[in-house]
A = this chain, B = another copy of it.
Amino acid sequence: MKKFTIGAALLSMMFTGINAQSLKSPDGKFEANFQLKNGVPFYNLKYNGNVVVEDSKLGLRLFKDSSIKFASEIAKPEDASFDLNNGFTKTAEKRDSKNETWQPILGEKKNYINDYNELAVTLNQTSSDRSIVIKFRLFNDGLGFRYEFPQQKNLNYFVIREEDSEIDFPTDMKAWWIVADYDSQEYQYQTTKISEIPTQWPKAFDSNASQTLIKNAVQSPLMLKKEGKEPLYVNVGEAAVLDYPASHLEVDAQNFKFKTHLTADRQGAKGYIQTPSTTPWRTIIVSPKAEVLMDSKMMFNLNEPTKYKDTSYIKPTKYMGVWWEMIIGKSQWAYSTAENVHIGKTDFSKLTPNGKHAANNTKVKEYIDFASANGFQGLLIEGWNTGWEDWFGHSKEFVFDFITPYPDFDLKMLNDYAHSKNVDLIMHHETSGSASNYERWSDKAFETMNKYGYKSVKTGYVGDIIPRGEHHYSQWTINHYYRIVEKANDYKIMVNSHESVRPGGESRTYPNYISAEAARGTEYEAFGGNKPDHQTILPFTRWMGGSMDYTPGIFQTKLDYYFPGDKRFVQTTLAKQLALYVVMYMPLQMAADLPENYAKHMDAFQFIKDVAADWDDTKILSAEPGDYIHTARKAKGTENWFVGGVTDENPRDYTVDFSFLDKGKKYEATVYEDGKDADYINNPQSYKIYKKTVDSKTKLPIHLVRSGGYAISLKPIK
């Protein structure tokens, strides 16, 4: 009898105590638990005692280590004996905590707070004598965890077949998601229950220039909501995605479960690892309040502080661009009518101009004049360099040299002219996905930028990646993006990458990586349209790990203005376009429309001229993913505030509560609001502007029409 009792007690301990570790957040509200069950690692997450994430499995499957004939290893059937997902015992446990305040170089607030408790468990797989560490950091807004692979005798090199980190929810949840694709995030968000994802998946995408869809999987960051009496908002993402492929999330719809699915290379391998090494952090941000979730800086906190010696060149930039007129089809990137050009061989001055080349001396000077007159620091010029005639769709490796201008673009003259007017031209390096070619030219390209005084570059990766067989989110390509960013730092250049991987807070480590597109932006208004709720979702997903270059500010929303009969239109009111400058955090901030359209609405344009791009403080006043967002921000180093609000396809009334203002101060508020009769389809340009004196006690009612918005600029009255 005694033996049995001891046995039972031991058994009990084994499954709940000896192999289970518990971690609490600094404020005690979250609890994360780690446990080995029969040698397999699991974790769970609780909030206020309630299960947020059920026991979820962890682990990785590997190809054979250090194979001398790697290509043939991939082809062999799976051999579970190589996997790092079972047969573990815990051999060590280490706890730590941190509570620091740090200053982002460009940010939504002057200070970010990094406050967590940490638990690192060391697991040894007895059969192979290999050890891994799983590290958990529990914040007051959720959990981050990652795997670590110490350098050790039996683990030097390995290749990942798949990482199998699960996140198992106890109930169905509302989800805002886009389809998984190794090459693009430029999809419309779907709003369904988790259980409905497989049904909706086949209808959830249109075509893309580079596309490798993964069925019944979705991308991260993924936004979720447990509805009901005590709603809970959950965001699933990853941070510090470096030297590792980006992860998607396979869905097990019946069980409300997701599992990591890494981006493969053409061989089917999912990560070449040399120890010591760590995976990205898998993040689960949780809050009963959507506003608190959106405000989370967890992804940035999980990245390492920067090692850059000099960051003084990294500045916020408001810019315009010779760009939208090409996107809508009014002009072209290419200079000539040729269909086939050879960089370094073709004499472009002998080609027949197509008469539609936008990046020409005359037009660029006009844009410079307008940007200068209106206080914009930057002017992006696309189509300035040779190669656009056949840049796309041919798997052409040597597609651009990034240094040779077209015959009608005078590099020196235009840069001198811009500088004389306090404007910097912004460089454009479209790579056409030919990353290895870009690396070959990057030194010369950056030297050219330094020579002519360019301070930042927009890079692009439209089309399939070369090296052929790599994907936009493969490990190799992610390493490429950071090689470029690091080299740009050597030249004191800021980088804004399009069609690249979405950020997971890495701008803390690489602060010159000031923005990226990596989602469906304003250009898609001309490529099929963005649904009215699009901008109410992106800040809950794409923005969680870093700013997006959304390029808003379109005043002439209906494109039949240019092309009679054209049915395309930007699916918002004009006032909503203004609101985006506050609702979306954009330290690199574009006023994307043509000068002539701003000239027709200089009163509304005033808001874009006034709005800041860098902030001392941010308050998410009110937000619900897919429905509305209302945000207030305080411009860095000033007492000026800006407020913005947007709605989805539903009209809304909202009362702005100005209690965030300094007490006892008066402010002049300039309000830009949808006109009473405004409508994003039929009357998008109806807006009203009025001034009002406000203070911290003021409550201002605002009416937003469907896909409408409002913007307010406030400055103290002396």
Chain A residues 65 to 92 lying within 8 A of chain B, measured CB to CB, are 66-71
Q: Which stretch, A463-471, A561-569, A663-671, touches the partner chain B?
A: A463-471
The oligomer's copy count stands at 2
Q: Are B390 and A156 interface neighbours, CB within 8 A?
A: yes
**Known: A157-B394, A159-B395, A395-B272. Is A266-B68 also a contact (CB below 8 A)?**
no
Q: Name A residues whose Cβ lies closer than 8 Å to a Cβ of B.
A: 66-71, 151, 153, 156-157, 159, 207, 209, 211-212, 265-267, 269, 272, 274-275, 339-340, 342, 390, 392-397, 436, 439-440, 443, 464, 467-470, 476, 479, 483
Say yes or no: A468 contacts B157, CB within 8 Å. no
Selected contact of A340 from candidates B68, B207, B274, B479, CB within 8 Å:
B274
Instruction: Report the minimal beta-carbon distance from A275 to chain B, rounded to whole angstroms.
Output: 6
A476–B469 touching, CB < 8 Å: no
Cα separation A156 to B159 with both chains bound (whole Å): 40
Residues of B within 8 A of A274 (CB): 340, 342, 390, 394, 396
Interface contact B340-A393, CB-CB below 8 Å:
no
Other-chain residue from B71, B157, B339 in contact with A156 (beta carbon distance below 8 A): B339
Judging by beta carbons under 8 Å apart, are B464 and A396 in contact? no
Which of B151, B212, B272, B394 is A66 in contact with, Cβ under 8 Å?
B394
Of all chain B residues, the one with the shortest Cβ separation from A212 is: B71
Residues in B with CB closer than 8 Å to A342 are 274
From B153, B269, B436, contact of A467 by CB (8 A): B436
Do the beta carbons of B272 and A396 come within 8 Å of each other? yes
Q: Please give me the residue from chain B that is nearest to A158 by CB atom.
A: B394
Complex Cα–Cα for A151 and B440 (A): 27
Residues of chain B with a CB closer than 8 A to A394's CB: 66, 156-157, 272, 274
Which single residue of chain B is at the shortest CB-CB distance from A152?
B340
Which of A69, A395, A469 has most chain B Cβ within 10 Å?
A395
CB distance from A714 to the nearest CB of B (A): 48
A265–B339 CB distance below 8 A: no
- 21 intermolecular pairs with C-beta atoms under 8 Å apart: A68-B392, A69-B207, A70-B464, A71-B464, A156-B340, A157-B390, A157-B394, A157-B396, A159-B395, A266-B266, A266-B267, A266-B469, A267-B469, A274-B340, A274-B390, A274-B396, A439-B439, A443-B443, A467-B467, A467-B470, A468-B469
Chain B nearest CB: distance from A488 CB in Å?
Answer: 15
Residue pair B390, A340 in contact (C-beta under 8 Å): no
Chain A binding site: helix, strand, loop or mixed by DSSP? loop
A393 interface neighbour in B67, B275, B476, B483, Cβ under 8 Å: B67
In the bound complex, do residue A66 and residue B340 qualify as a contact, i.e. CB atoms below 8 Å apart?
A: no
**Among B68, B266, B397, B443, which residue has its beta carbon within 8 angstroms of that of A468?**
B266
Q: A156 to chain B: which residues have CB within 8 Å?
A: 339-340, 390, 394
Say whether B275 contacts A397, CB under 8 Å: no
CB distance from A229 to the nearest CB of B (A): 48
For the complex, give the distance between the alpha carbons of A69 and B464 in Å: 8
| Bound Cα distance A267, B156 (Å) | 30
User: In whole angstroms, how far apart are the Cα atoms of A470 and B468 in the complex?
Assistant: 8
| Contacts beyond the supplied A71-B464, A274-B396, A468-B470: 11 A-B pairs with Cβ under 8 Å | A66-B394, A67-B393, A68-B209, A156-B390, A159-B395, A265-B468, A265-B469, A269-B468, A274-B394, A443-B443, A467-B470
Contact between B66 and A393 (Cβ–Cβ < 8 Å)?
Answer: yes
**Which 10 residue pairs of A and B lie closest in terms of their CB atoms, listed nearest first?**
A467-B467, A157-B394, A156-B340, A68-B393, A469-B469, A266-B266, A266-B469, A272-B395, A70-B395, A156-B339
Q: How far is the CB of A632 from chain B (nearest CB, A)?
A: 44
**A468-B266, A469-B267 in contact; A272/B436 too (CB < 8 A)?**
no
The smallest beta-carbon distance between A19 and chain B, in angstroms, is 30
Asked if B266 and A340 sit within 8 Å, CB to CB, the answer is: no
Point out the residues of chain B lying under 8 angstroms from A69, CB to CB. 207, 211
Q: How far is the CA of A690 from the CA of B604 in the complex (A)?
A: 102
Contacting residues, chain B, for A212 (C-beta < 8 A) = 71
**Which residues of B have CB within 8 Å of A71?**
212, 464
Smallest CB gap from A341: residue in B: B274
Task: State the Cβ distance, A558 to closest chain B Cβ, in Å.
Answer: 28
Q: How far is the CB of A145 from chain B (nearest CB, A)?
A: 25
Min CB–CB distance A590 → chain B (angstroms): 27
- Cβ contacts under 8 Å, A159 to chain B: 395
Chain B: CB-nearest residue to A393: B68
* Residues of chain B lying within 8 A (CB to CB) of residue A267: 266, 468-469
Q: How far is the CA of A439 from the CA of B397 in the complex (A)?
A: 15
Q: Which residues of B contact A439 (CB under 8 A)?
A: 436, 439-440
Residue ID in chain B nearest A340 by CB atoms: B156
Instruction: Give chain B residues whose Cβ lies under 8 Å from the Cβ of A443.
Output: 443
Contacts of A479 in B (CB 8 A): 397
CB proximity of A440 to chain B, nearest CB, Å: 7
Which residues of chain B have C-beta atoms less than 8 A from A211's C-beta? Answer: 69
Contacts of A468 in B (CB 8 A): 265-267, 269, 467, 469-470, 476
How far apart are the CA atoms of A156 and B342 in the complex, in Å? Answer: 11
Residues from chain B with a CB closer than 8 A to the CB of A393 are: 66-68, 70
Q: What's the nearest-Cβ distance from chain B to residue A643, in Å?
A: 43
Which residues of chain B come closer than 8 Å to A440, judged between CB atoms? 439, 483
Complex CA gap A207/B69 in Å reads: 10
A440 to chain B: closest residue by CB: B439
- Alpha-carbon distance A397/B474, docked complex (angstroms): 14
Q: In the bound complex, how far is the Cα of B264 from the Cα of A71, in angstroms?
A: 14
